Structure 1
């Protein structure tokens, strides 16, 4: 794994904009950054593929364990939602996607930092944006990236269950809108009928006991780029169990979107080579550790403690409590710390996207760096 300095394409803004990425420079700051890229070998990519599959299977086992052992309280899930989550799991409601964030420098064993199981973003850039970059800049190389094809395959199967689907996100975020519109486009390509609406415009029809859109059309299936833990705090969430509404991601993914899944995975699979030791807030770890809120976004309220050294970020999260995770150092490449986001689409490893920062905490302003791979020497 190498970080290679590059000269960006002279018209890169137009290039990425042509495939739907209009949030490449939020606030004038570079987010899509092609002044560098990461190069892997095929064997390294094969390892990432295997690790992603393994972690996905561990997570599915953990969901089953939480449900069978009634472990919901540790994740601060309201009691009224428990039967709804159990039903979602038992009915095998499909999951579209998720993203494992991994610490790895190309040697040794990749380690799971966290799982973005519910509302992962950076999908458009990991899929078509870096693929078109590859075709122009490194046409003889390859890329760990079958995201687009696997999305199309998922929707082709999903349309037999739900031929029409609403897509919803919050207003005011170009990144959220771009990711949702990309997913909606893949659903359209697969033959589904789709509509987009803002989350606040989802209404409740008391007479029909159904959720409806702005035109009072019943919503039967909904993709929501809106966290489950926020949704359960909404007064209308109590109607979900009886609303005859299919959601992506399904309710059972809430069990994986909490960082509480990290100590649960460690309890179930102690000393697994791809996991880091983790515990709940009432069981602090010895040695260097990272403290994370049960629920948080974009690297907020993270604390890294190594003896007297403390690195932390601010934010509004942490009311539900914290978990502790063994600290593992990120390798600095020319002063930049990469985190590998490895995607799961329809239960299959599908490709990677890399975010990097000059800090070890990946946040909202961290940059996306493309990648390619070559055959082993």
Structure 2
């Protein structure tokens, strides 16, 4: 695995515009960055990322099976008690999930096994650019002779998403899957628009709804702006926000089915990390992790990462190295509690810290994304850098 400096295509913004990639820059700074790419070997993909991702996901599902039957576990995750029945029911029905992203610290062969930093199992973004635009970059750069002939990409995301949506439609029996997000959030809206297109290719009706337009009928159905029942709803809106809202209490009794399903609230919580370590201490792809109030956290010594249970995009993360604060990110989270995780610093390539995102579609690894940050914490200002499998 190595970082390769390249000349960006002079017309890549025009390519992005034609492809519908409208959130390629934030506040004038590039989010999509093709001034470099990562070259990864097939063995690194298959042995060091794909196989551990499959094993970690299976371990996470085993944890959900335990958690839904144990109120102490659900309470430790600060999931409100009124949501427990909805979570249990969705798991016992085997409500299917669509996708998620395992964030890993991994620097290539010879640097040690990939370590799980967190599981973005409920509302991960960076999906469209992973599935579509970095593939278009690959094809165009190959056609222009900018990449080695015969190189490939770990990227079956689009095909797997369409196939998974076909399976989900058959499982739910709903020919219509509504998609909801905040309409004025470019990255969220772009992610949802891409998934709408996948749903259309899967043969579904796929209307968009702003989150604030969703209503609740007296018979328990969630409804659209016209008062029509929503049989199935993909919501790019976190479960912890839903459960904190008054209408969140209606989820369990509602006939509406959700993507991601309520049981994903167990996996999108950083408390998952402490429970996984308790289940499989010493697992090669896990870091030791403990709840903040657990005296066992002393085992981490003076180097650790403290994360809020509900934080997103690196908010409120604290990194301590050898007893000194190495990085701190402010944000609105933390009142719900924290976990401490062993420190696995992100690998540095050309002075940039690289985070590996391993995409899961259903229960299978399906693709790779790499994001770079100047600092130790990967925030919403990290840059997306494409990758190739080097022949």
Do the structures match in fold with TM over 0.5?
yes
- On the 8 A contact 2:86/2:253 being kept in 1, the answer is no
- CA shift digits 1:193-240 (9 cap, x unpaired): 11101000001222x332111111111100000000000011111111
Unmatched 5+ stretches in structure 1: none
- TM-score when scaled to structure 2? 0.94
The Cα shift of 1:66 comes to: 1.4
Q: Give the corresponding residue for 1:268.
A: 279
Q: Give the corresponding residue for 2:259.
A: 248
Q: Give the corresponding residue for 1:93.
A: 95
Q: Give the corresponding residue for 1:113.
A: 117
Cα-Cα RMSD: 1.0
The Cα shift of 1:81 comes to: 1.1
Q: Give the corresponding residue for 1:79.
A: 81
Q: Pick from 278, 283, 289: which aligns with 2:304?
A: 289
> For 1:326-365, what aligned pairs fall within 5 Å after superposition?
326-365=342-381
**147-156 or 279-288, which moves further after superposition?**
279-288
- CA shift digits 1:303-342 (9 cap, x unpaired): 0001224310000100101000000122211110000000
Q: Matched residues in 2 for 1:74 and 1:28: separation?
A: 41
> For 1:59-70, what aligned pairs fall within 5 Å after superposition?
59-70=60-71
* Structure 2 CA distance for partners of 1:209 and 1:328, relative to 1, 3 Å: closer
Q: Give the corresponding residue for 1:233.
A: 244
The Cα shift of 1:77 comes to: 1.0
Q: Matched residues in 1 for 2:325 and 2:82: separation?
A: 42
Q: Pick from 174, 179, 182: which aligns with 1:170?
A: 182
- On the 8 A contact 1:20/1:182 being kept in 2, the answer is no
- CA shift digits 1:234-267 (9 cap, x unpaired): 1111111222010000000000000000000000
The Cα shift of 1:94 comes to: 0.1
- On the 8 A contact 2:3/2:39 being kept in 1, the answer is yes
The answer to whether 1:322 aligns with 2:333 is: no
Aligned with 2:276: secondary structure? helix
Aligned with 2:69: secondary structure? helix
The Cα shift of 1:29 comes to: 0.8
- TM-score when scaled to structure 1? 0.97
Q: Give the corresponding residue for 1:300.
A: 315
Aligned with 2:16: secondary structure? helix
The Cα shift of 1:162 comes to: 1.7
Q: Matched residues in 1 for 2:324 and 2:242: separation?
A: 39
The Cα shift of 1:57 comes to: 0.4
Aligned with 1:102: secondary structure? strand
Q: Give the corresponding residue for 1:10.
A: 10
Aligned with 2:30: secondary structure? coil
* Structure 2 CA distance for partners of 1:68 and 1:211, relative to 1, 3 Å: closer
Q: Matched residues in 2 for 1:269 and 1:209: separation?
A: 40
Q: Matched residues in 1 for 2:289 and 2:328: separation?
A: 18
- On the 8 A contact 1:336/1:357 being kept in 2, the answer is yes
> For 1:116-155, what aligned pairs fall within 5 Å after superposition?
116-137=120-141, 138=147, 140-155=150-165
The Cα shift of 1:33 comes to: 0.4
The Cα shift of 1:360 comes to: 1.4
The Cα shift of 1:84 comes to: 1.3
Aligned with 2:251: secondary structure? helix
The Cα shift of 1:14 comes to: 1.3
Aligned with 1:194: secondary structure? coil
Q: Matched residues in 1 for 2:234 and 2:29: separation?
A: 30
Q: Matched residues in 1 for 2:287 and 2:281: separation?
A: 9
